[in-house]
Structure 1
Amino acid sequence: MAVDHLDKDVLTHLRDVMEGEYRTLLDTFLEDSQERVEALRKARDTKVLGEIAHSFKGSSSNLGAVRLVELCHRLETEAANQSLQALEPLVDEIGDEFAFVRPLYELERQRYPF
């Protein structure tokens, strides 16, 4: 796993704590994250954008998606002071980062099928 994208220690801890529910947790994160990326792209209000970024930041933090946390934090912070148009590149960067980590999480799911 890419160290600067995922915190392997967080995943190890979750795997130990969640045991048989670990894969379900990963599935839920992937599904919810895809929905959040789509919601970010569809948002037409900076307040809504900031709220989605805040929620996405929390779930990404819980699952060790280090770079996603950083990007969502930036979006959450900048949404208060920027226009939607100015935030589009950051939304795109979040989408790109999720596209990068998604296969890493899918590989993790395959490693722990139960």
Structure 2
Amino acid sequence: MDDQHLDNAVLLGLQEVMEDEYPQLLETFINDSRDRLGTLQQALGAADAQTLRLAAHSFKGSCSNMGAPLLAGLCRQLEDAARRECLEEVPALLERIAAEFAIVSIRLKGELQRHRFG
């Protein structure tokens, strides 16, 4: 699974540290990420740059910890746009974040299947 969407070395490290809790970590990340995307959409709808910035910052850290570098980078761009209060940049970034999360989610679900049944 060594590709641009997920860092295999990070996932292997997490698997070693988390052991039997690794599948739960993956599921938690997927579910929490869906919630974070919803928070970002709501903040955009409310034109709330501060909430966007904080949510993007938190999501960025989570993505970095899970070895999703492209997703983390997009969250960093969103955080920067919100910090500058350039909300006109946000819809396109959110679309890219949602698309990248869809890819990451599919790959992590595959990782879950390999871990459980492999």
Partner in structure 1 of residue 103 of structure 2: 100
User: 1:62 aligned to 2:61?
Assistant: no
For structure 1, the residue ranges without an aligned partner over 5 or more in a row are none
Q: Percent identity?
A: 45
The Cα of 1:2 is off from its aligned counterpart by 5.6
TM-score (norm 2): 0.91
TM-score (norm 1): 0.94
Structure 1 runs of 4+ aligned residues shifted over 6 Å read none
Please list, as runs of the form range in 1=range in 2, the aligned pairs for 1:1-114 lying within 5 A after superposition.
1=1, 3-43=3-43, 44=46, 45-113=48-116
For structure 2, the residue ranges without an aligned partner over 5 or more in a row are none
After superposition, what is the alpha-carbon deviation per residue over 1:74-112, rounded to whole angstroms, capped at 9, x for unaligned?
Answer: 111111213333311011111111011111000001111
Cα RMSD of the aligned pairs, angstroms, is: 1.4
After superposition, what is the alpha-carbon deviation per residue over 1:42-90, rounded to whole angstroms, capped at 9, x for unaligned?
Answer: 1120110011000000111110011011000111111121333331101
Structure with greater helix share of residues:
2
